[in-house]
Structure formats: structure tokens, C-alpha cells
Structure 1
Amino acid sequence: MEVRGVHHAYRRRVVLRGVDLRLRAGVLAGVVGENGAGKSTLLKILAGELRPGRGVVRHRGRFGYCPQRVVLNGSLTVRQHLEFFKVAFGLADLRRAEEVMDVLGFAEYTNERVGVLSGGTRQKLNLTLALMHDPQVLLLDEPYQGFDWDTYQRFWDLAAGLRDAGRSVLVVSHLAYDIDRLDELWRLDEGVLHRRETVTA
């Protein structure tokens, strides 16, 4: 994915001031910044959910997007969500979704209504829906909200596995947790992305 000169403003409030970003295949990258810095706005633009004021975003292949706000239907079961997205993505089966559910440790909730699930379990489903079509580019906005420590570790193992399989993974967070797990790190400050030195050896 390549991003050049992306600007965005909400009326007079300028949020992004010429963001440039190149996300290579086989890279686990992170963007950090204070609350209100424009991270979620940037991710929405990268995912095509929001049109930038100006600038260009180019990406090839399938992409998955896990927004910060979980968008699920509380009256439907986990399986009904999976079946709905299976049709939307044109998938032959739910094999990949079931693999992700096993890794995240919530396969036993398949027949539960989403409305009765904890916030952390809903977030696991949110992440599964973003991953079930095996995207080449994965955009994650605060993806581990509500996770317990074990699931948090499982998430990073999953992200590293995607990176090792040649996928491009971008994790956005307001805090620079576990930056040693990242290959590349940027900080969004005053609407501009600043590249930090390579994190891992």
C-alpha cells in the first residue's frame, strides 16, 4: 500500500497535513499518536471508508479493516455474522474464520447471540470478520481493546504469523505498546506521520 500527500479536515479543523506512507508486503507496522491525533481518520481513508480532502491511496489485493468501534448486530449469533460475511466475501467455506477463532480462543461462542457477549469477545469477532477472507493488507484500529492478557499475546502471535506469510499488517494505537514486535513504526503528530527507526533487529 502506498499513500501520498493525504490531507483531511473537518470544516476548519485540519486533521491530516500531507501524510505519506508506504506499507510493504511482509511487514508488521504500527502508527501511534495521542487521542484525537487523527489516527482513526487516517485508517478510514486507507480503508476507503472516508474520502480524503486531497492525496492518493493505492493498494493491491484484498484488504481487511478492523475499525475501533465494533459494528455488530447484537440480535444475531456469531455464526450468523460469519455466514453473512462469507456471502459478502464470496467464500466457499468458513475454514479461515474457524482457524482465527481457534487462535483467539472463542470457538465455543459460535452459537451465542452477540448481544450477550463481553466487549473483549465481541472484539474477537470483529477481528475475525476482518481476517476471514485472508486479506493481503490488514488495517487494525486499536484491535486488542478488551482483550485479556492471554488473548493479547495470541493477537500478536497471529499478527506475526500474517507478516511471516507475506501479508502487510498495520496496527494503530494511541500507546506504543510492544513496539519491539513491530518492523516499522510511525508517530502521527500534528497531522504528519514521522518515521521512527526500525524497531526490530
Structure 2
Amino acid sequence: MAGVWKSYGARSVLRGVDVTVEPGSLLGVTGENGTGKTTLLRTMVGELLPDQGVVHRDGEIGYCPQETVVNHLLTVSQHLELFRVAYGLPDTGHARELLEVLGCPDAMRQRAGTLSGGTRQKLNLVLALMHRPTLLVLDEPYQGFDWDTHRRFWRLARKFRDEGQAVVVVSHLLDDLQHFDTVYELRDGVLRKGIRHR
């Protein structure tokens, strides 16, 4: 994205943002609450149109928002089948493998509404990853994860990066900074490389 501006009424949230996410990179975005991190990601994936500037995308995109996209009445298996059809995949094998990697292989017959918050978030994440997108855009994707699943997530993120996928993760945890190849801070509508110490 280049020269991207986005405003809500008189409030400018993004002010001329420039960022390129290269294949095989793991990029972190940090910033205080309310600085526009989610707006940045939604503009990046095409959910929001910029007021000014250009957003260029190559290949498939996988987007995991903070709010889960699951239907509480459907089982985990039904979610995988629904998204398999939407993505045009031959089967749900990769999605099931991802669920196993994240530590919930036995939830297939459970309705999403009966799952714990952490397990719902695992399903939310898998739905964004199951079609092997070239760009992964993840907005604090580990909400509700326990420490073991948190570590599993980062192993998975590094695996995707090493396989040539581009991965963007919004995080507010200082411990996460070690995992990124590059870290950006969104502050006053401007995206800057590195973290400003206060």
C-alpha cells in the first residue's frame, strides 16, 4: 500500500501509510488501542477502501479478524465444509491438520456455540488459513489462547513465513516482538518502522 489515507468523519486514522509486505516475511504491527490498527488491516485486505492512496494485492489473502466469523449453530466440521466450498478446495484435509497443530483435533462434531473462547478463536484462525493464502493478515489472532497454543501459533507463523508466505500480525504483547522480521508502530496515523520507547 502506498500513500494510504483513511478518515472517519473529521478524524484521520491513516495518514499517508506506506508499507510493502514481501513474500517470506513475518511483519508485526503494534500500537496503542484506538490508533487504527484494525482499520489498517481492513484496508490492506480490501474490506475498506482508502480515501486516498493505492493498495496492491497479489494472490490469495487470508484474513483473521479479532471478532470470530463463526456461526454458533454450525459444528466445526460444517464450518470447514462451508469454507471448503467457498474456497473451491478439494477437501478439508489441510484445515484438519491445522486444527491438530493448534491442539483441538477432537472438536469436529461440536457446535461453535459450545466451544470455549480459545477454541472458537482457533477455528476462526483455521478458516483464514485453510486455503493456503499467499498473504496472511491476522488481527491479534490468539485471543483466548493458553500459553501452549500461543507457542503453537508462533511455530505455525514461522512455518508459513519459511514456506514463502507473507504474514502480517497485529500484536500488543512485547514478548511477541522477538518473532517478527520487521516491526512497525502505528502512531498518530503514521506507520513507522521500529518501536518508539516511551
Q: Could you tell me the TM-score, scaled by structure 2's length?
A: 0.96
Distance 2:6 2:142 in 1: 27
RMSD: 1.0
Task: Give the deviation of 1:180 after TM superposition.
Answer: 1.1
Q: Is the 8 A contact 1:184 1:196 kept in 2?
A: yes
- 1:186 match: 184
Distance 1:5 1:99 in 2: 39
Range with greater deviation from structure 2 (91-100 or 30-39): 91-100
Give the partner amino acid of 1:55.
G
Give the partner amino acid of 2:103.
G
- CA deviations over 1:169-189 (Å, ceiling 9, x no partner): 000123333211110000000
Q: Secondary structure at the match of 1:93?
A: coil
Aligned pair 1:121/2:119, yes or no?
yes
Structure 2 counterpart of 1:166, from 164, 167, 173: 164
Distance 1:164 1:71 in 2: 27
- 2:134 match: 136
Task: Give the deviation of 1:99 after TM superposition.
Answer: 1.2
Range with greater deviation from structure 2 (120-129 or 177-186): 177-186
Give the partner amino acid of 2:100.
D
Query: What is the identity percentage for the equivalent residue pairs of Structure 1 and Structure 2?
Result: 55
**Structure 2 counterparts to residues 79-90 of structure 1, below 5 A:** 79-90=77-88
Q: Secondary structure at the match of 1:129?
A: helix
- 1:6 match: 4
Distance 1:178 1:11 in 2: 33
> Gaps spanning 5+ residues in structure 1: where?
none
Give the partner amino acid of 1:12.
A
Q: Is the 8 A contact 1:32 1:176 kept in 2?
A: no
Structure 2 counterpart of 1:32, from 20, 30, 33: 30
Distance 2:96 2:140 in 1: 22
Task: Give the deviation of 1:14 after TM superposition.
Answer: 1.0
Distance 2:153 2:172 in 1: 17
Distance 2:72 2:163 in 1: 33
Task: Give the deviation of 1:196 after TM superposition.
Answer: 1.8
Q: Is the 8 A contact 1:86 1:93 kept in 2?
A: yes
Task: Give the deviation of 1:59 after TM superposition.
Answer: 1.5
- 2:147 match: 149
- 2:55 match: 57
Structure 2 counterpart of 1:98, from 96, 99, 113: 96
Q: Secondary structure at the match of 2:58?
A: coil
Task: Give the deviation of 1:119 after TM superposition.
Answer: 0.7
The number of residue pairs the alignment matches comes to 195
Q: Could you tell me the TM-score, scaled by structure 1's length?
A: 0.95
List structure 1 segments (4+ residues) > 4 angstroms apart after TM superposition.
none
Q: Secondary structure at the match of 1:97?
A: helix
Q: Is the 8 A contact 1:34 1:175 kept in 2?
A: no
Q: Is the 8 A contact 1:31 1:39 kept in 2?
A: yes
Distance 2:136 2:25 in 1: 11
Give the partner amino acid of 2:118.
G
Task: Give the deviation of 1:72 after TM superposition.
Answer: 1.1
